[in-house]
Amino acid sequence: MFDLTLTFDNGPEPDATPGVLDILKRRSVLASFFVIGEKLAKPGARALAERAHAEGHWIGNHSWTHSVPFGQRSESDLSDREIGRTQQAIGDLAHPRRFFRPSGGGGNLDKRLLNPAVVEYLKREKFTCVLWNSIPRDWNDPDGWVERALAQCGKQKWTLMVLHDLPSGAMRHLEGFLDKVGEAGGRLRQDFPPDCTPILEGIVTRPLDAYVADGGK
């Protein structure tokens, strides 16, 4: 028995997001979508986020460009350009807890995630920072990720998994993955494990040293 929270990063994508939403709706599964601001600004993309929101999914902020991880950047206006601009684009689709997920540059949970100025911004603007404890690497192994994902679920009581609604072909295995989760006794839920939200509505809930460049708090 295990719990599983599904999250989808790096959309919206017209060639992938609708199919993911169709599967989740058919299975009555609620998830979270962490969107990239510059994609959200493209024609038709906001309608996908609106559909996700209308169907009960949570919409989170995954930065404007999803380029170099914040722990490796030091521009003074970084937070406003990458986080604030995206939050404005999300607008009334945003969850009240203002979910933000940093990029790890390939799923890394280390000091590449954040820098001290970004942490202060998240605190000041009362964001909830949502990390993860499962990266099955669907984006670079579109056919092999399912077994890895199941193995990761089997190693912990509550998994917060990052998948990607990208046109890589990986999401054609999503329904089969959900079948196997059910067969293994997994329970799907939408909320996040407390140890994956080190900042909750602007309040630091656990040490950030492992995630912040230069030892920022």
Given CA atoms 15, 31, 51, 100 in this order, what sign does their dihedral have? negative
57 catalytically annotated? no
9, 57, 62, 138: which is the annotated catalytic residue? 9
9 catalytically annotated? yes
57, 62, 164, 165: which is the annotated catalytic residue? 164
- The partner residues of 4 in beta bridges, in order of sequence, read 159, 188
Distance CA 139, CA 31 (A): 18
Tokens (6 digits) for 154: 């089997």
Distance CA 68, CA 157 (A): 32
Q: Is 172 in contact with 138 (CB distance < 8 Å)?
A: no
Q: What residues act catalytically?
A: 9, 164
